[in-house]
Amino acid sequence: MTNIITFTTDWGSSDNYSAIFKAHILSEIRDAILCDISHDVEKFNISTGIYLLKSTYHYFPKGSVHVFDVDFLNAQQEQVYILSKKNKQHEQLNFRDYLAVKYKGHFFLAINNGVFSILCEQLNEIEEIVKLKSADEYSNFKTFNAISYFVRPAIALAKQSMPLSELGEAYSLDKIESIKLMQPLIKKSEDLGDVIEFGVKYIDSYGNIITDLHRDTFTKIAKGRDKVSIYIKGMGKNNVRIVNAYSDVSKNVSMIALFNVAGYLEIASKFCGIAFILDLKISNVYDHRFTLSFHDQ
């Protein structure tokens, strides 16, 4: 038992949703440790939410409970949902199920909307999984389903370690909804040699651009090379060296490239947010693709 419950949501920090949820927990566990990973995930942006949770949860002690509530429907799911709701069959859709999952010693409460296919690198490493039922005592929260589905399991797991089978009905791994995120593209160019095209995963509050290029992918292609050129629309071609920390470069360097604690390439500038200069926002990240090549060509 850790008494630790974390939250990754798009509820917003200026609204009272998180306070209402926490109030229900604190009414039963006065000494609960409630930690916000973020409530400012852009609405329905599951990719950003998963990045923040996945790069953070393992720092907490095993046994911690992680509430993830960023709803999401891709185009295909939305069409199926609309048709099923019209036929009053929407309760049978797997991607609308609320689940409790034990993975790597941590407990996760989330909708089966694709989050687990990205959060869990290998689904067969999931230790337990159950489908949760809505608690009748919270039936008045008709527009805040996280209350009715997640409060009671969160309280139970925070109080004591227990099998998930005590919280819900058995759920098959085959029912886990899968989504695919954009991945870096590796190719060869006659002029540039090895080239990696990649995009944006997240923009932090400093205006730093966290890309979707992971260190593992870069290392396979770089083979020890750390001097690169990064082309960014609106800033042109920038020659940089991959560094280990912000302190490795001087204040007046226009661009810094380093791999962050989550292993993703971060593009930044000291005391000046590159994303702000480019007017790059989470809502338009798919319009921005970067091209990286190596200086030895």
The pLDDT-based confidence of 121 (bands split at 50, 70, 90) is: confident
Give CA separation, 24 vs 12, 40, 150, 278, in Å: 18, 21, 11, 42
The pLDDT-based confidence of 254 (bands split at 50, 70, 90) is: confident
Instruction: Indicate the class that CATH gives domain 4-175.
Output: alpha beta
Q: Which pair of structure tokens corresponds to residue 159?
A: 């109080």
Tell me the range of 41-45, 48-52, 160-164, 233-237 where mean pLDDT is highest. 48-52
Q: What is the pLDDT of residue 215?
A: 96
Lowest mean pLDDT among 182-186, 244-248, 293-297: 293-297
Q: What is the pLDDT of residue 242?
A: 93
Lowest mean pLDDT among 34-43, 70-79, 84-93: 84-93
Averaged pLDDT for residues 241-249: 88
Nearest in space to 187 (alpha carbons), one of 217, 167, 207: 217
Q: What is the pLDDT of residue 160?
A: 86
Confidence (pTM): 0.89
The pLDDT-based confidence of 238 (bands split at 50, 70, 90) is: confident
Q: What is the pLDDT of residue 107?
A: 97
The DSSP secondary structure of 71-130, one letter per residue, reads: ----HHHHHHHHHHHHTT-GGG-GGG-EEEEEETTEEEEEESSSHHHHHSSSGGGEEEEE
Fold of 185-294: Elongation Factor Tu (Ef-tu); domain 3 (2.40.30)
The pLDDT-based confidence of 285 (bands split at 50, 70, 90) is: low
Query: Beta strand 4-9 with 65-69: parallel, antiparallel or unpaired?
Result: parallel
Q: What is the pLDDT of residue 230?
A: 93
Averaged pLDDT for residues 268-292: 76
Residues of the chain with CATH 3.40.50.10790: 4-175
Is residue 273's pLDDT more than 90? no
Averaged pLDDT for residues 187-211: 91
- Using one digit for the tens of pLDDT, what is the confidence trace for 1-49? 679 999 999 999 999 999 999 999 999 999 999 999 999 998 888 999 9
